[in-house]
Structure 1
């Protein structure tokens, strides 16, 4: 193996060269670049799309409870109400006591019978005693 002595061998060029008079004007050039005013870009302008997307998601999140309002008691269909009353332990007397005058008037209008229908119901029904006692 040959011994390698750095001082005796020819030097290898690195391939990099500095321009002439580069270090003489370096500090002046650096100071001029540092002192140049750069335009200030606010965070909102820089990430505008992200802020708009976050605002849209926030607005939708706030609106969801208002869009999913619970149904009113008047919008409950008749079958649901009948099923509820059939499964609850409310007697006829308690149910009648809960009705107000407007409900009673509505029931009278809806359940109005003529005399012939009433007579036929009484004629063919054998348990008239139950209706009389109640």
Structure 2
């Protein structure tokens, strides 16, 4: 119901059974007559019932037999899991995956592509080389023809970058 219409309610909402007030006096007198004839309700509690109640409950609880415990993991499943774990451990510890790469195995083109694509600077490249690799005598004996240098510059260098430097 809406709050603004509460003042218009004419009924209380409570109902009584039919002929309640006509039979009320007879019902009340019959209840009084029953209590006059038998003042007790008919239910009795044995003597010292509440004094010994706790002892009897504890005795019943302690007399119960232990229940059988059913394990969640059986030994059979445990052995299966241990076997799988051991086989995986052996697989990783065997020398199947113990393949180490050498510098000789790496293709020259792969190394060049790596250096070009990774944008390595001269300091990073110099840190990878030993002093023996940078020795001046290694470059003196190198005979490169002018034709090879020109072909390289035509294919790999842009003219604008050569002129700006």
TM-score by length of 1: 0.31
| Structure showing greater Rg | 2
